[in-house]
Structure formats: C-alpha cells, structure tokens
Structure 1
C-alpha cells in the first residue's frame, strides 16, 4: 500500500458484499483500488454519507448506494487533500438548497396551509428527493443511537440484514435498507426515513423461538418504509426549522421532539398508516414465501413479553396506536397461508438471538 493510501471497504450498492481496497486521496478526488476494482470518484461528487468515532462512509452522488468505508483515523488524510469535505460545508449548502426548494414546493402544494400540516404531509413526502430522505434518516438514526446503543457484531447480523434487504426488494420498499439492533429490553421495531429499520433486543428475544414472527414485524416496518410514513410524520409534526435541523444533522432537542411527536399528534393518521402497514406486511410475507398469520403470532409474543403492570405504557407504537389490537390479530389469522422456511438458517438465528446479550 502506498504511503498516501488508506485501507477501506468498498460496497458497489448492488450487492451486500464488501471489497477490501485502498483509497488514495488528492485534491481532485479519491482513487479506489483492489479486488478487481479501479475506480475514481471526483472530489466534486464526494459526500460524507455517515460518520462516527469508528469509521467514515463516503458516497458519490452519481453512484447511488455505493459506499467507501474508511477508518475514522484516516480523517487527517482526507482533510489534507479535501478540507472542505470533512468540514461538511458543501453538504450543508446542498441540503439547505434542497430544503428551501422543498419549502417552495410545500407552498405550492399546501397553499394557505402552514408547512408541516397533516393535509400537506403526503404530497410533501412524494415530492421529497429520496437522497434527502436517506440523509434525514441517517441523521435521525444517529440521534437515536446516542440513547439506544446498537448491539451485535456486523458479521453476526449480516445474514439477517441480507434477508431483510431481500424482503424489501421483493416488496418494492424503494430504499436500500440499513438495519440495526438497539440494546433495550422493550420489544419494539420502527422504521425511520430513508430505509433505516431498527429493532430492539427485546423483540429479538421475544421472537427467539419463532423467527417467522420476527420477519412478520419486519414486513410491517417495510410497509412503512415503502409508504414513506416516517417522513410524513416529520412533516406532519415539525416545522421547517426542525426539518432543516434533521437534514443538516444539527444537535439539540429538535430530533428528540420529532421522535416523540407522532404519539402527540392526530391519532387518526397513525391508525390509517398502521392499518396500511399491516396490509403491506401480508403482501410482503406472501411474496417472500412466509405465512401472513405470523403477524398475529408476533402480536401475541410481544404482548406476552411486556410487564404485566406496564402494558399500556410499554406497548410498541406500531401495536398500541390502533384502537383494537385484538381485531388486528383476527385479521392476520384470517390471512393464514402455508408458509415456507424463514430466510435465515437456524444457526444464524441462534447467533442473532444472543447477539446483544453476548456483548
């Protein structure tokens, strides 16, 4: 490896496979070499897709979901070659321009309705560029991870992530899925904007003996991803300032407000979205060769895992926001169809079931 190169992993965005490469940075861009790849990404097309204390994920605006992942310790090399990239200034300017354009679209769509009103949330979501929604989802996920820490080794979670991504493709989710488990005992799962899907250690444990029930919950969340429900919730519950804060990754209370705002707003929207996500789950499960009635078993397992004295308070939003959970269970059972084998081996599921407890 040359002195100016840094080690990295290249993902082409078409498969889940990562490739060991070396990345050579210059003022003009980055050369990516290794395992049959010889690629050059110009500096003007580079973006910071995500960054934490361990790694930096770079993207190319012309390369879709392709990513170059390098160690965080290599920040000095990038900074020496392209100081503006690490400062985030180009990204902030680009995202601010997108938000301004989005606010203009909101005015056209909503007329006299103020930005963020429920009536405008659907049309606004439809007009939002997917690239912007993905960025919003990454920033919201980063804020959640300050409170709910991810757990499970990447190698252990890879088969599950691949299986969920395959379901998403089958179900036409429309976004690349970024999956993670967060370490909390409450059985829950939620979809964030742009294909971010989180599940809790509690849900993994509750469904440890029934992986098909777990995949039923994932199918429900993929229904939310496909409908862009989380983005609609942000527009419904937030003003332009909060949206800009989320897009640019700003700190403060804005993102936390968005996370809890859904339960404080008009419940009829949430009920409608949850019912539609149930229907999407049946469709995705059937298309994936799984039994739609597994969603009913998931409800039962989650209810059984909650404390006897805290069911109303601790019930996951996707299960509690509907006025009649029993009716949802009944509908799911009525959709029963011969199921196949869950898209993950027993050994992989066993490792995943204990992934968080092993840490």
Structure 2
C-alpha cells in the first residue's frame, strides 16, 4: 500500500510503501525500512485519512487513506487500533490538575501564607513600600488645604496610635477623593476622604474610623493584603509568562491601594481592637456602632442613612452585623474632639482644595476653567459615594 511518511525531524514528506509482516508494520522509505510492531501502534482516523504512529518512534507519522488501511489491516486479521488520544488525554488531565493546584494555591495557600509573611516582613521594607504607595496616592488624591484641620486630624491619629503596639509612624491626613472611604497604607499612612469627613455625624464616628485603621496597621492586616494581592500577581506572571511582571504588579498595587481588601476576620479584629484603643484613651467608642448602622441602611437615633454605601458594602462584610457587635462592646467616654475642633476638621476640605480630577487636569495641562463638573461632583450629585473605612 502507498502512504506518506514524516520522520518528525524535518518537514519533508516522503512517499512510502507499507505492508504488515509477522505482526509488524513495515515501512519502506527511500531504501530504508522502518518496522513498527502492531502491539504499539496508534491509529487516528481523521476524515478520509488514517494517521499512524508508534510508541517506539513517537515523532514519526505515517499517513494513508482510510480505505487502504482498512484493506491492509483486514487482510491480516483484526488489528487492535489504539486511538492516538492518550497524549491528548494526559495533557488535558495534567492541565486540569495544574489548574486545580493553581486555584487551591490562590484561594487557600496564598491567604494562609499571607499572615505569616506579613508578620515576618521587615519593618523597614514595609515602610519603604508605604512611601511608594503614599506617593502614588498623593498623585491621585491631593491633600485637603485646611492646615489647621489637618493638624487636628493628625493629632487625633497620634493620640490613638500611641495606644497601639506598632513600630510604624502612623500619619493621618484628609484627602480629596470622589468616594466615601478611609484606608491604611503599608507602613503607617492613613487617608480619610473628604466625603467621609462630610458624612460623619460626630467626632466620635470619625475617631472610630481612625481607630479602626490604626488597628489594621497594628495587626499587619495591610501588609497581609499586599502579600495576598502580590502573591496572586506573581503567580499569574509565572503562569502567563512575561508581560504582567512582578514590578508592574507592584505598581498596579500601588495605584489600587484603596482596593486592598481584608477578610471578615480581619475586619472584625480591627473593629474590636479599634474600640479598645478608644477605651484606653478614655474616649467614647459609641461612634463605631452608629456609623455602621447608617452604612447598613438602618436609621438610629434620628440619623439618616449615609448618602450611598454601595462601594463600602461591596468590600466590607455585613455592616449591620458589625454594628451590633460594636454596640455590644461600646463604652461611653470623653468626646474625641471639642466642638470647635470638630468644626475645623469638617471645614478642612471645603475651601482652597483641588478636587482630584482638576488636579490631574492641571498636572497634565488638560481642560480649563470651563471644564465639565469633576467626577467627585458628579458622583455626589447622583448619590454615588461610599466605600470602605
């Protein structure tokens, strides 16, 4: 029978003559004879062709018409055809096992390792990372211009951080950002957005938010979230090859630091520790429960729910549950700020500050005085504020 032979070492296709002799397939090609025992033969029928290979010469292929192969094999009695799918099946099974392993590592291994890695991270390393993150945030979210209010807010952060067991220099400041949020960065910086300051109903609510973020820093939750996110990025880099890059992933993390999320246990721990820090100072911790009640859409003591907490609720576990836990543990105490200090803090971002969109426009020479309303204004007009302290 005539066939085409490919040796697997070159692209050349050569004419061959084949026959079955003594339970072996003999292939005569250019004066050379290849002998493939039928016991190791694999046959794949595709369309009108039969593609044959052998386990002793896996790269070589013999191609012939299906009808010719049927006559040849039938003339010698029944030849057991081993469908040449073993390699593909093994490949699929291997890829499936690899995918399961990757998923297990990402969703189980990385979170489990992130805690020990965060605690083992040198303080100096986290501080340097925090400086980079802070620089990224400063380029996007400018500081509010009210110097006196900033000083009062920083002093409140210092008082609360003094009760915490942390080597980091905690620095609290107010920033212009089109979201209701507060977030801690690695190494100590804490950013409070103008929307959160505006929507807080009392200095005790603001103090509860600050204490909560200080607790995240003390417990190394921030670095834990970084390692979890960075670990996934490094894993993806290993899987897909160059292009994402660990360095690029670190930059992405810096640019998206507000999206470093904590688990339910970390949030609960920060709530409880934040209240304890306030108690140690002799301050009231009742602001935490009232803040969470309103985040959960509940009305308490005549308060209206926050403008909109959609983003906050999407990144935080069950605010109503947290409010109930905070209410059970709260204590009365001194107010966090005097009435005059509170009024000054509330005015920190009201005048003389650039909103982040206009700041970026001016930085890159875009737009003018008649530009459209900034994103923060648009979000507030449509009630689209809210994120996570």
Give the TM-score of the pair, scaled to structure 1: 0.57
What's the CA shift string for 1:248-294, capped at 9, x where partnerless? xx8x535235543x45xxxxx61111011011112111111122222
Q: Give the 3 Å change call, closer, same or farther, for CA 244–358 of structure 1 in structure 2.
A: same
| Match runs of 1:7-86 below 5 Å | none
Deviation at 1:301, TM superposition (A): 4.6
Whether 1:315 aligns to 2:290 is: no
Secondary structure of 2:183's counterpart equals strand
| Alignment check: 8 A CA contact 1:229 1:273 kept | yes
The residue aligned with 2:369 is: none
Distance change in 2, residues 1:290/1:271 (3 Å) = same
What is the rounded CA distance, in whole Å, between the counterparts of 1:131 and 1:257 in structure 2?
Answer: 22
Are residues 1:171 and 2:134 paired?
no
| Selected match of 1:332 from 320, 326, 332 | 326
Question: Any idea what SS the aligned residue of 2:192 has?
Answer: strand
221, 225, 229: which one pairs with 1:229? Answer: 221
Mapped contact 1:293–1:334 kept (Cα < 8 A): no
**Secondary structure of residue in 2 paired with 1:117:** helix
Match of 1:133 in 2: 126
Larger Rg, first or second structure (1 or 2) = 2
My pick for the range that moved more, 283-292 or 227-236, is: 283-292
Cα-to-partner distance string for 1:185-207 (whole Å, 9 max, x where unaligned): 53211111111111111111112
Aligned partners of 1:256 and 1:341: how far apart in 2?
Answer: 35
Q: Which position in structure 2 is the counterpart of 1:253?
A: 252
- Alpha-carbon spacing, 1:293–1:234, altered in 2? closer, same or farther (3 Å): same
Please report how far the alpha carbon of residue 311 of structure 1 lies from its aligned counterpart in structure 2 after TM superposition: 3.5
Q: Confirm or deny that 1:190 pairs with 2:188.
A: no
Counterpart-to-counterpart distance in 2, 1:119 and 1:223: 20
- Unaligned 5+ runs, structure 2: 1-103, 238-243, 298-303, 353-389
Cα distance between partner residues in 2 of 1:246 and 1:129:
22
SS of corresponding position for 1:238: helix
Deviations along 1:195-235, whole A, 9 cap, x unmatched?
Answer: 1111111111112x410111011111111010111111111
Distance 1:258 1:161, change over 3 A: closer
Q: What SS class does the counterpart of residue 191 from structure 2 fall into?
A: strand
Aligned residue pairs, count? 231
1:274/1:345 CA distance change after superposition, 3 Å: same
Distance 1:224-1:243 versus aligned 2 partners, 3 A rule? farther
In structure 2, the CA distance between the partners of 1:185 and 1:300, relative to structure 1 (3 Å rule), is farther
After TM superposition, give the deviation of residue 297 of structure 1 in Å.
Answer: 1.3
SS at match of 1:151: coil
The two structures, once aligned, show a CA RMSD in angstroms of 3.0
With a CA cutoff of 8 Å and minimum separation of 6, indicate the structure with the bigger relative contact order: 2
Measured in 2, the distance between the counterparts of 1:276 and 1:146 equals: 31
